[in-house]
Structure 1
Amino acid sequence: MNRLLQTSLLVVSLSGLTVLAEDEYENAPIRYSETEPNDAAQRLERLMATGKVKVDRTDAWTVLRDVMKQFDIPAESQVMVFSKTSKQNDRISPQTPRVVYFGDNAYVGYCLGGSIEVSTIDPKLGPIFYLLDPYEAPQKPLHFQRDQSCLSCHGGPFTPEVPGVIVRSVFPGPEGHPIMSQGSTVVDTTTPFSDRWGGWYVTGKHGSVLHRGNVTATEQNDQTIDIDFKKGANITNLGKFFDTTPYKRKSSDIVALMVLEHQTSVQNILTKANHTSLRAMHMQTSLQRELGEKVEREPVGTARRIIDHCAEDVVEALLFKDEAELPAGGIEGDPAFQTAFTKRAPQSSDGRSLKDFQLLNRLFKHRCSYMVYSLTFQHLTAPLKQTVLSRLWTVLEGKDTTGSYDYLGESERSNIRRILAETLPGAPPEWKKALASK
């Protein structure tokens, strides 16, 4: 992430303007807030308005169910968060957790009696944030209200200065308020198991290694805390913590949580890299025009260096560099989520998928992220995407000389090469030729 921040500052300096980092995405060429999104929420609203899609408005749960169906979000992806780290904090507590669901390109959250929170992905802008009132009078159309206030958390330091989606691990007090003196962790693929899930409910087995989930803390006068992580370990029934009756599903699956954390962190890296690449090319074009030079379509000089740095960050994220190990013996979650998650995963001719789970010492069998199929990856700027694909293939062919990816053995790299060559939209033709020659 540090390289991306440095490179984005380089782009800002090129403009000759003093721009706050958190505002970069509001300026050309991104113009996040003033740009009409091209995302699933906008498309669904148009379909509902024309009557082509009907949503059952019996209650909030039926609205949630039908919206999730349109966004291709499985109900089995449910996780629960009880820390007050959301727009609807007054509705969240250890007794009334917020439910969160996710698909590959969309996220929804719901608090009992509250609005449905929605984040859908625009290929260029990144995540777009909305509120949907499920209690709107039935004669009125449902409306996704774009909510820019979400950017106070979802568009700053927590999300590398781009609009982003995050999973935070905090030390929650008895009512769910984060104990600020203890700080928080934005969880990604590299976060140690023991630092995860503070303020979240977690169901599943994980052996003797403890995490922060399922329990609250009490702050002492000396700013230390009293918390018993053992009480939150290896939980399979959340009924001991709160009344689960109002909730359609009673779980907050450990595997779903780990997938969500991986997905959100990679999404943010992709968004950051794409925004930085867009700005680099915008600045290059502006400077060349200002200097009366030929406008180059390909990145040169500083823009080339910036995009190369961005590409390396993307490749590191896609290939699970520095992934945190799972506890000895692995983890065990709900098979229903794993089935739903892998249901339509693209498969190679030998039946392998980037969504195949391993769950013993790492999350997935084949350590190349399924986020290569995401909207953001598929719509990366051409120079960035070409650089990422070239660098990715170099690593997967065992030709990387940095030693950074030595954890990937030849067998795993070979399996990943086949999966990508046979399933990745827009895969370079030479990838398939390389497979055929071996």
Structure 2
Amino acid sequence: MATDPDAPMLLEDEANFNLPTVEGRFDTSGYPTPYSDIAALMVLEHQTHMTNLLVRTAWEFRVAAHEHRATRGLFRRPGAADGGALRMTVDEDETLREAVRALVDYMVFVDESPLTDRMVGNAGFEAAFEARGPFDRRGRTLREIDLDLRLFRYPCSYMVYTAAFDALPADAKDAVYRRLWQVLSGADRDSRYEHLTRDDRRAIVEILRDTKPSLPGYFGAVRR
């Protein structure tokens, strides 16, 4: 850590990497803890961007409704109850569709950079975070942190349990659920979802079915 006020930039020195504590480097009395837990920072980064995408999606749908643009039926085949077809119908709004795609892609960690080495938190954050659940009947939770190859053991955002997600306009939430099922069911075989193995997708659906009461009934068995 740079200590010269005339050169306040962080010095790239191995002595500054993976510090167990910043005590002794500056006055930490004004902070709740002298630790800077890598797991907590990574979760915060995910939560912040996920919140931004939820706000954006809600905003786009509310603007569309105000402008009397169609907001219903995205990612839904007429008469279908299983998540719908992958192709866009003529009455779908491209702006809304892309907002939902971006949100769901981030929910399932598309483009997440794989970890190349084991990362370990040092402030007890992982245990406290995971203990918040909710847990399915097998004791699994979307909050389980991995840090071997990726951030979370089950690559689907725990932000699905938040008030921000539940407060999405009804048509937006319907579209998000339908798009999420297209991805988790294996109906969309796009290469950007290759990181989601069938076991991953099956586990995520099972966890959601046990822990998210508002989950639509078409979230069923993952067979592909």
**TM-based fold match above 0.5:** yes
Question: For 2:208 and 2:192, how far apart are their aligned partners in 1?
Answer: 21
**Pair 1:309 & 2:83 matched:** no
Aligned residue runs from structure 1 range 36-435, under 5 A: 174-175=4-5, 216-217=8-9, 227-284=11-68, 298=72, 304-328=93-117, 330-334=118-122, 336-431=124-219, 434-435=220-221
Letter in 2 for 1:217: M
Query: In the superposition, relative to structure 1, how do residues 368 and 242 fare at CA in structure 2: closer, same or farther (>3 Å)?
Result: same
Question: For 2:197 and 2:188, how far apart are their aligned partners in 1?
Answer: 12
Question: For 2:66 and 2:112, how far apart are their aligned partners in 1?
Answer: 34
1:65-109 C-alpha deviation (Å, 9 max, x unpaired): xxxxxxxxxxxxxxxxxxxxxxxxxxxxx8xxxxxxxxxxxxxxx
CA offset at residue 302 of structure 1? 6.8
SS in 2 for 1:394: helix
CA RMSD of aligned residues (A): 2.7
Query: In the superposition, relative to structure 1, how do residues 326 and 173 fare at CA in structure 2: closer, same or farther (>3 Å)?
Result: farther
CA offset at residue 297 of structure 1? 7.0
- Tell me which structure has the larger Cα radius of gyration: 1
Question: For 2:47 and 2:6, how far apart are their aligned partners in 1?
Answer: 25
Partner of 1:168: none
Contact 2:20/2:122 (CA < 8 Å) preserved in 1? no
Query: In the superposition, relative to structure 1, how do residues 251 and 273 fare at CA in structure 2: closer, same or farther (>3 Å)?
Result: same
Aligned residues with identical type, % of pairs: 32
**Higher normalized strand content (fraction of residues):** 1
Question: For 1:242 and 1:173, how far apart are their aligned partners in 2?
Answer: 9
Question: For 2:98 and 2:46, how far apart are their aligned partners in 1?
Answer: 21
SS in 2 for 1:264: helix
Query: In the superposition, relative to structure 1, how do residues 176 and 299 fare at CA in structure 2: closer, same or farther (>3 Å)?
Result: farther
Partner of 2:86: none
CA offset at residue 232 of structure 1? 1.6
Question: For 1:173 and 1:316, how far apart are their aligned partners in 2?
Answer: 41
CA offset at residue 175 of structure 1? 4.5
Query: In the superposition, relative to structure 1, how do residues 176 and 351 fare at CA in structure 2: closer, same or farther (>3 Å)?
Result: farther
Question: How does the TM-score come out when normalised to structure 1?
Answer: 0.44
Question: For 2:9 and 2:15, how far apart are their aligned partners in 1?
Answer: 12
Question: How does the TM-score come out when normalised to structure 2?
Answer: 0.82
Greater relative contact order (Cα < 8 A, sep 6+): 2
Structure 2 unpaired stretches of 5+ = 75-89
Letter in 1 for 2:170: A
